[in-house]
Amino acid sequence: MPELPDIEAYIAALEPRVMGLPVERIRLASPFLLRTTTPPLCEAEGRTVRELRRVGKRIAIGLEGDLWLVLHLMIAGRFHWKPPHAALKGRQNLAAFDFPPGSLTLTEAGAKRRASLHVVAGEAGLQSLDPGGIDILPADLERFRAALVRENRTLKRALTDPHIVSGVGNAYSDEILHAARLSPLALTHKLTPEEWDRLFIAARATLEFWLGRLRGEALQRFPENVTAFREGMAVHGRYGKPCPWCGAKILRIRYADNETNYCASCQTGGRVLADRSLSRLLGSDWPRTLDELEDLRRH
């Protein structure tokens, strides 16, 4: 799922292409994309783009008359910039937003249709779609800590809950926790002051680094191949590869459609975290240390 740096990269790429220009036409190839009926979608046509804004993991296109088109890409949705009035061919194409210089198209891979488009009026309508999580970059340590300790959650769960933290998901939470040298399963109520300092510094530094890098790339070319697995990431998507800090193999915890990647040597004191499916299978034989894990793999 595109996260804060990816969404901001899309906005950086769209600003010079659509700001101050009218939405000539909106074409829907999938009726399931549109999740609202009032105001009607047709009211957006002909209105000029006045603002682009990130709302959590959503992109909000602000039009004259205080009307907003709010798009959530979910896991597999992606934007593309095409020539004017580009055809919507194939099952993956969901919609096109036509502007004078080109068409912004939305695709979604796979059979599931999770991406969404809301049309809302006014600031109140826009804020109704905001889960309310804290924005890390403008926050200070006190506000950051207060948001994460409202409930006693694991760090992974807290960082990826949109009601607690805005715009951070599976990929960047892995990178933040690795940079902070903290276990994804550490509980927010158990962190020491020194660990809070590390986590806050790592969260800001990680997001600032990827924001700068992806925005810079987006200004050169439209981000057509947005992915959660990026060259230069330390742990996310790097299962079995060496940790860039210590050389130990990156491990993972798998659950549902997601996985958490981490370095046991850097983050958990060498302890291997239980993967739910495998730990059920192995029971008491589940390896607790890196050495035990290597022995298991050899045999």
> Contacts for 98-101 with beta carbons within 8 Å, 24 or more apart?
98/23, 98/24, 98/25, 98/26, 98/27, 99/17, 99/18, 99/21, 99/22, 99/23, 99/24, 100/21, 100/22, 100/24, 101/17, 101/21
- Distance (Å, rounded) from C-alpha 13 to C-alpha 8? 9
The pTM of the full predicted model, rounded to 2 decimals, is 0.90
- Distance (Å, rounded) from C-alpha 154 to C-alpha 258? 16
Q: How many CB atoms lie within 10 A of CB 54?
A: 17
Among 13-17, 107-111, 208-212, the least confident range: 107-111
Domains of the chain by start residue, with CATH: 4-127 (3.20.190.10), 141-298 (1.10.8.50)
The helix/strand count (H/E) of the chain reads as: 9, 10
CA 183 to centroid of chain Cα atoms: 20
Tell me if 167 sits within 8 A of 10, measured CB to CB.
no
3-state class of 163 per DSSP?
A: coil
Average pLDDT in the chain: 91
Task: Give, in degrees to the nearest 5, the angle at Cα 169 between 165 and 171.
Answer: 135
Q: Which pLDDT tens digit goes with each residue over 132-177?
A: 999 999 999 999 999 999 999 999 999 999 999 999 999 999 999 9
pLDDT at residue 292, rounded to an integer: 43
> Checking phi first, is residue 85 left (phi over 0); if not, alpha (psi -120 to 50) or beta?
left
Of the pLDDT bands very low, low, confident and very high (cuts 50, 70, 90), residue 226 is confident
- Distance (Å, rounded) from C-alpha 62 to C-alpha 279? 49
Average pLDDT over residues 222-227: 89
Of the pLDDT bands very low, low, confident and very high (cuts 50, 70, 90), residue 216 is very high
